[in-house]
Amino acid sequence: MTAVRGALHAVRSAPGPSMAAAVIVGLFLYALVVPLFAADPFRLSGMSIMDSFTPPVWMEGGNPRFPLGADDQGRNLLTAMAYGLRTSIIVGVSSVLIGLVLGGALGLLSGFVGGRTDAVIMRIADVQLAYPALLLAMVIDGIATAVYGRERSAGLAITIVIFAIGIALWVQFARTIRSSVMVERDHDYVAAALVTGRSKIAIVLQHILPNVMAPVLVIATINLGIAIITEATLSFLGIGIPLTHPSLGALIRNGNAYLQSGEWWISAWPCLVLVLLVIAVNVLGDHLRDHFNPKLRGRS
Protein backbone atom coordinates (compact mmCIF):
# COMPACT_ATOMS: atom_id res chain seq x y z
CA MET A 1 0.00 0.00 0.00
CA THR A 2 2.99 2.27 -0.46
CA ALA A 3 1.27 3.56 -3.59
CA VAL A 4 -1.67 4.85 -1.56
CA ARG A 5 0.62 6.43 1.03
CA GLY A 6 2.69 8.05 -1.72
CA ALA A 7 -0.50 9.38 -3.32
CA LEU A 8 -1.71 10.87 -0.03
CA HIS A 9 1.63 12.56 0.46
CA ALA A 10 1.60 13.89 -3.10
CA VAL A 11 -1.84 15.41 -2.58
CA ARG A 12 -0.95 17.09 0.71
CA SER A 13 2.13 18.78 -0.69
CA ALA A 14 0.43 20.77 -3.52
CA PRO A 15 -2.24 23.48 -3.16
CA GLY A 16 -4.41 22.70 -6.26
CA PRO A 17 -4.81 18.98 -5.58
CA SER A 18 -5.36 19.48 -1.86
CA MET A 19 -8.18 21.89 -2.72
CA ALA A 20 -9.59 19.29 -5.11
CA ALA A 21 -9.34 16.67 -2.37
CA ALA A 22 -11.14 19.02 0.02
CA VAL A 23 -13.93 19.55 -2.53
CA ILE A 24 -14.29 15.77 -2.98
CA VAL A 25 -14.40 15.16 0.78
CA GLY A 26 -16.95 17.97 1.18
CA LEU A 27 -19.20 16.60 -1.59
CA PHE A 28 -18.94 13.04 -0.19
CA LEU A 29 -19.98 14.32 3.25
CA TYR A 30 -22.87 16.29 1.69
CA ALA A 31 -24.04 13.19 -0.21
CA LEU A 32 -23.73 10.84 2.75
CA VAL A 33 -24.84 13.03 5.68
CA VAL A 34 -27.80 15.01 4.27
CA PRO A 35 -29.84 11.86 3.43
CA LEU A 36 -29.51 10.80 7.08
CA PHE A 37 -31.50 13.82 8.25
CA ALA A 38 -33.72 14.76 5.30
CA ALA A 39 -36.55 12.67 3.91
CA ASP A 40 -36.16 11.28 0.39
CA PRO A 41 -37.55 14.10 -1.77
CA PHE A 42 -38.44 11.55 -4.43
CA ARG A 43 -40.98 9.82 -2.19
CA LEU A 44 -44.46 10.97 -3.20
CA SER A 45 -45.68 11.53 0.37
CA GLY A 46 -43.00 14.14 1.03
CA MET A 47 -43.78 16.28 -2.00
CA SER A 48 -46.13 19.18 -2.13
CA ILE A 49 -47.20 20.71 -5.42
CA MET A 50 -47.81 23.96 -3.49
CA ASP A 51 -44.03 24.42 -3.18
CA SER A 52 -43.26 23.84 -6.85
CA PHE A 53 -41.02 26.35 -8.63
CA THR A 54 -39.99 28.07 -5.37
CA PRO A 55 -36.94 30.16 -6.38
CA PRO A 56 -33.72 30.22 -4.31
CA VAL A 57 -34.08 31.98 -0.95
CA TRP A 58 -32.39 35.25 -1.98
CA MET A 59 -34.77 35.81 -4.90
CA GLU A 60 -38.26 37.27 -4.70
CA GLY A 61 -40.74 34.62 -3.53
CA GLY A 62 -37.99 32.52 -1.97
CA ASN A 63 -38.70 30.36 1.06
CA PRO A 64 -36.10 29.66 3.82
CA ARG A 65 -37.22 26.02 3.81
CA PHE A 66 -35.83 25.75 0.26
CA PRO A 67 -32.40 27.46 0.35
CA LEU A 68 -31.65 26.60 -3.30
CA GLY A 69 -35.27 26.57 -4.45
CA ALA A 70 -37.62 23.75 -5.43
CA ASP A 71 -38.32 21.98 -8.73
CA ASP A 72 -41.56 21.47 -10.64
CA GLN A 73 -42.74 18.79 -8.17
CA GLY A 74 -41.93 20.90 -5.09
CA ARG A 75 -38.82 18.88 -4.23
CA ASN A 76 -36.24 20.66 -2.11
CA LEU A 77 -33.23 20.92 -4.44
CA LEU A 78 -30.71 20.97 -1.58
CA THR A 79 -31.78 17.52 -0.36
CA ALA A 80 -32.69 16.14 -3.80
CA MET A 81 -29.16 16.87 -4.98
CA ALA A 82 -27.64 15.09 -1.97
CA TYR A 83 -29.63 11.98 -2.88
CA GLY A 84 -28.67 12.36 -6.55
CA LEU A 85 -25.02 12.88 -5.71
CA ARG A 86 -25.10 9.75 -3.54
CA THR A 87 -26.31 7.75 -6.56
CA SER A 88 -23.55 9.29 -8.72
CA ILE A 89 -20.87 8.38 -6.19
CA ILE A 90 -22.17 4.84 -5.59
CA VAL A 91 -22.46 4.13 -9.33
CA GLY A 92 -19.12 5.80 -10.12
CA VAL A 93 -17.09 4.01 -7.44
CA SER A 94 -18.73 0.59 -7.96
CA SER A 95 -18.33 0.66 -11.73
CA VAL A 96 -14.66 1.68 -11.47
CA LEU A 97 -14.15 -1.24 -9.04
CA ILE A 98 -15.78 -3.63 -11.52
CA GLY A 99 -13.64 -2.29 -14.35
CA LEU A 100 -10.59 -2.58 -12.08
CA VAL A 101 -11.25 -6.19 -11.05
CA LEU A 102 -12.20 -7.32 -14.57
CA GLY A 103 -9.42 -5.41 -16.33
CA GLY A 104 -6.95 -6.24 -13.55
CA ALA A 105 -7.56 -9.97 -13.78
CA LEU A 106 -7.34 -10.00 -17.58
CA GLY A 107 -4.32 -7.68 -17.57
CA LEU A 108 -2.42 -9.84 -15.06
CA LEU A 109 -3.29 -12.97 -17.05
CA SER A 110 -2.33 -11.34 -20.33
CA GLY A 111 0.94 -9.94 -19.06
CA PHE A 112 2.12 -12.95 -17.08
CA VAL A 113 1.01 -15.79 -19.36
CA GLY A 114 1.64 -13.98 -22.66
CA GLY A 115 1.48 -15.91 -25.92
CA ARG A 116 -1.89 -16.76 -27.42
CA THR A 117 -3.89 -15.80 -24.31
CA ASP A 118 -2.33 -12.36 -24.46
CA ALA A 119 -3.03 -12.02 -28.18
CA VAL A 120 -6.73 -12.93 -27.80
CA ILE A 121 -7.32 -10.61 -24.81
CA MET A 122 -5.53 -7.69 -26.45
CA ARG A 123 -7.38 -8.10 -29.77
CA ILE A 124 -10.70 -7.98 -27.90
CA ALA A 125 -9.43 -4.84 -26.19
CA ASP A 126 -8.50 -3.32 -29.57
CA VAL A 127 -11.97 -3.92 -30.97
CA GLN A 128 -13.62 -2.49 -27.86
CA LEU A 129 -11.46 0.65 -28.11
CA ALA A 130 -13.44 1.66 -31.20
CA TYR A 131 -16.41 2.16 -28.89
CA PRO A 132 -16.22 4.76 -26.10
CA ALA A 133 -17.53 3.95 -22.61
CA LEU A 134 -20.69 6.00 -23.09
CA LEU A 135 -21.74 4.24 -26.30
CA LEU A 136 -20.99 0.77 -24.91
CA ALA A 137 -22.85 1.48 -21.69
CA MET A 138 -25.86 2.56 -23.78
CA VAL A 139 -25.70 -0.63 -25.87
CA ILE A 140 -25.37 -2.84 -22.77
CA ASP A 141 -28.33 -1.07 -21.21
CA GLY A 142 -30.37 -1.61 -24.39
CA ILE A 143 -29.48 -5.31 -24.32
CA ALA A 144 -30.47 -5.49 -20.65
CA THR A 145 -33.82 -3.91 -21.53
CA ALA A 146 -34.32 -6.59 -24.19
CA VAL A 147 -33.53 -9.32 -21.64
CA TYR A 148 -35.35 -8.01 -18.56
CA GLY A 149 -38.09 -5.96 -20.23
CA ARG A 150 -39.03 -2.31 -19.75
CA GLU A 151 -40.50 -2.71 -16.29
CA ARG A 152 -37.66 -3.45 -13.92
CA SER A 153 -36.98 -2.38 -10.37
CA ALA A 154 -34.77 0.62 -9.58
CA GLY A 155 -32.30 -1.65 -7.82
CA LEU A 156 -31.88 -3.88 -10.87
CA ALA A 157 -31.64 -0.83 -13.15
CA ILE A 158 -28.82 0.66 -11.06
CA THR A 159 -26.98 -2.69 -10.97
CA ILE A 160 -27.25 -2.87 -14.77
CA VAL A 161 -25.86 0.66 -15.15
CA ILE A 162 -22.97 -0.15 -12.79
CA PHE A 163 -22.08 -3.26 -14.78
CA ALA A 164 -22.58 -1.49 -18.12
CA ILE A 165 -20.10 1.25 -17.18
CA GLY A 166 -17.74 -1.20 -15.45
CA ILE A 167 -17.55 -3.46 -18.50
CA ALA A 168 -17.02 -0.41 -20.71
CA LEU A 169 -13.99 0.62 -18.59
CA TRP A 170 -11.98 -2.61 -18.34
CA VAL A 171 -9.73 -2.08 -21.39
CA GLN A 172 -7.61 0.72 -19.95
CA PHE A 173 -6.99 -1.16 -16.70
CA ALA A 174 -6.08 -4.33 -18.57
CA ARG A 175 -3.65 -2.54 -20.90
CA THR A 176 -1.94 -0.61 -18.10
CA ILE A 177 -1.56 -3.62 -15.82
CA ARG A 178 -0.42 -5.81 -18.70
CA SER A 179 2.41 -3.47 -19.68
CA SER A 180 3.50 -3.03 -16.04
CA VAL A 181 3.44 -6.79 -15.46
CA MET A 182 5.54 -7.37 -18.58
CA VAL A 183 8.19 -5.08 -17.11
CA GLU A 184 8.03 -6.66 -13.64
CA ARG A 185 7.97 -10.24 -14.99
CA ASP A 186 11.65 -10.12 -15.97
CA HIS A 187 12.89 -8.79 -12.64
CA ASP A 188 15.10 -10.93 -10.44
CA TYR A 189 12.64 -11.12 -7.56
CA VAL A 190 10.15 -12.98 -9.74
CA ALA A 191 12.81 -15.49 -10.78
CA ALA A 192 13.83 -15.84 -7.13
CA ALA A 193 10.23 -16.52 -6.08
CA LEU A 194 9.88 -19.09 -8.87
CA VAL A 195 13.04 -20.84 -7.68
CA THR A 196 11.72 -21.04 -4.11
CA GLY A 197 8.78 -22.96 -5.52
CA ARG A 198 5.93 -20.48 -5.12
CA SER A 199 2.98 -21.03 -7.40
CA LYS A 200 2.47 -18.67 -10.33
CA ILE A 201 -0.84 -17.39 -8.96
CA ALA A 202 0.81 -16.54 -5.63
CA ILE A 203 3.65 -14.74 -7.40
CA VAL A 204 1.24 -12.67 -9.51
CA LEU A 205 -1.02 -11.73 -6.61
CA GLN A 206 1.50 -11.30 -3.81
CA HIS A 207 4.67 -10.13 -5.51
CA ILE A 208 3.80 -8.51 -8.84
CA LEU A 209 0.42 -6.92 -8.06
CA PRO A 210 1.69 -4.60 -5.28
CA ASN A 211 4.38 -3.30 -7.62
CA VAL A 212 1.96 -2.27 -10.38
CA MET A 213 -0.51 -0.51 -8.06
CA ALA A 214 0.73 3.05 -8.69
CA PRO A 215 -0.38 3.36 -12.35
CA VAL A 216 -3.60 1.51 -11.47
CA LEU A 217 -4.42 4.13 -8.85
CA VAL A 218 -3.96 6.88 -11.46
CA ILE A 219 -6.16 5.12 -14.04
CA ALA A 220 -8.78 4.45 -11.37
CA THR A 221 -8.99 8.13 -10.41
CA ILE A 222 -9.19 9.31 -14.03
CA ASN A 223 -11.81 6.65 -14.79
CA LEU A 224 -13.85 7.67 -11.76
CA GLY A 225 -14.39 11.02 -13.51
CA ILE A 226 -15.37 9.24 -16.73
CA ALA A 227 -17.72 6.88 -14.86
CA ILE A 228 -19.48 9.74 -13.06
CA ILE A 229 -19.94 11.68 -16.32
CA THR A 230 -21.17 8.53 -18.08
CA GLU A 231 -23.75 7.82 -15.38
CA ALA A 232 -24.93 11.44 -15.39
CA THR A 233 -25.16 11.41 -19.20
CA LEU A 234 -27.12 8.14 -19.23
CA SER A 235 -29.55 9.51 -16.64
CA PHE A 236 -29.79 12.78 -18.55
CA LEU A 237 -30.67 10.85 -21.71
CA GLY A 238 -33.30 8.92 -19.75
CA ILE A 239 -31.53 5.55 -20.08
CA GLY A 240 -30.71 3.23 -17.21
CA ILE A 241 -31.66 4.64 -13.82
CA PRO A 242 -35.43 5.33 -13.80
CA LEU A 243 -36.55 8.96 -13.53
CA THR A 244 -38.33 8.22 -10.24
CA HIS A 245 -34.95 7.52 -8.63
CA PRO A 246 -32.75 10.48 -7.62
CA SER A 247 -29.68 11.14 -9.79
CA LEU A 248 -27.92 14.33 -10.86
CA GLY A 249 -28.48 13.57 -14.55
CA ALA A 250 -32.22 13.09 -14.03
CA LEU A 251 -32.45 16.37 -12.07
CA ILE A 252 -30.67 18.21 -14.90
CA ARG A 253 -32.89 16.56 -17.52
CA ASN A 254 -35.96 17.58 -15.57
CA GLY A 255 -34.72 21.15 -15.08
CA ASN A 256 -33.78 21.46 -18.74
CA ALA A 257 -37.50 21.49 -19.63
CA TYR A 258 -38.01 24.63 -17.53
CA LEU A 259 -34.93 26.51 -18.72
CA GLN A 260 -36.93 28.27 -21.43
CA SER A 261 -39.48 29.63 -18.95
CA GLY A 262 -36.81 31.14 -16.70
CA GLU A 263 -36.64 28.59 -13.84
CA TRP A 264 -32.86 28.30 -14.21
CA TRP A 265 -32.17 26.98 -10.70
CA ILE A 266 -33.70 23.52 -11.29
CA SER A 267 -30.95 22.50 -13.71
CA ALA A 268 -28.20 24.97 -12.73
CA TRP A 269 -27.49 23.60 -9.22
CA PRO A 270 -27.19 19.92 -10.23
CA CYS A 271 -24.99 20.98 -13.18
CA LEU A 272 -22.77 22.94 -10.80
CA VAL A 273 -22.42 20.04 -8.32
CA LEU A 274 -21.67 17.58 -11.14
CA VAL A 275 -19.06 19.87 -12.71
CA LEU A 276 -17.43 20.55 -9.32
CA LEU A 277 -17.15 16.84 -8.58
CA VAL A 278 -15.78 15.97 -12.03
CA ILE A 279 -13.25 18.82 -12.07
CA ALA A 280 -12.04 17.91 -8.56
CA VAL A 281 -11.64 14.23 -9.50
CA ASN A 282 -9.81 15.17 -12.74
CA VAL A 283 -7.42 17.58 -11.02
CA LEU A 284 -6.62 14.87 -8.50
CA GLY A 285 -6.13 12.29 -11.28
CA ASP A 286 -3.84 14.59 -13.30
CA HIS A 287 -1.78 15.33 -10.24
CA LEU A 288 -1.37 11.66 -9.32
CA ARG A 289 -0.39 10.90 -12.92
CA ASP A 290 2.30 13.57 -12.88
CA HIS A 291 3.47 12.47 -9.45
CA PHE A 292 3.95 8.82 -10.43
CA ASN A 293 5.25 9.58 -13.92
CA PRO A 294 7.32 12.76 -14.04
CA LYS A 295 7.97 12.24 -17.76
CA LEU A 296 4.35 13.11 -18.50
CA ARG A 297 4.45 16.34 -16.53
CA GLY A 298 3.13 19.32 -18.50
CA ARG A 299 1.51 17.21 -21.22
CA SER A 300 -2.15 17.54 -21.98
Q: Where along the sequence are the contacts to other proteins (CB under 8 A)?
A: 126-127, 129-132, 134-135, 138-139, 141-143, 145-147, 150, 225, 229, 232-233, 236-239, 252, 256, 259-260, 262, 264, 267-268, 271, 274-275, 278-279, 282, 299-300
User: Judged by CB, which is closer to other proteins: 173, or 236?
Assistant: 236
First to last CA, the chain: 28
CB of 201 to other proteins, least distance (A): 30
Nearest Cα neighbor of 136 from 112, 160, 110 is 160
Q: Are 278 and 24 in contact (CB under 8 A)?
A: no
Report the DSSP beta bridge partners of residue 76: 70
Would you say 107 or 249 has its CB closer to other proteins? 249
Residue 110 C-beta: closest distance to other proteins, Å? 18
Complex with other proteins: residue 8 or 129, whichever CB lies closer: 129
- Return the number of the residue (24 or 229) whose C-beta is nearest other proteins: 229
Q: How far is the CB of 62 from other proteins (least distance, A)?
A: 20
Q: How big is the chain, counted in residues?
A: 300
CB of 130 to other proteins, least distance (A): 4
Minimal distance, residue 87 CB to other proteins, in Å: 16
Specify whether the CB–CB gap between 130 and 123 falls below 8 A.
Answer: no
Taking the complex as a whole, the smallest distance from the CB of residue 264 to other proteins amounts, in Å, to 7
Distance of closest approach, residue 138 Cβ to other proteins, in angstroms: 5
Closest contact distance (angstroms) between CB of 127 and other proteins is: 6
By CB atoms closer than 10 A (0-12, 13-18, 19+), residue 185 is: middle
Nearer to other proteins, 183 or 259 (CB): 259
Nearer to other proteins, 21 or 232 (CB): 232
Q: Which is nearer to other proteins, 8 or 139 (CB)?
A: 139
Nearer to other proteins, 191 or 275 (CB): 275
Region at 279 (left for phi over 0; alpha for psi -120 to 50; beta for the rest): alpha
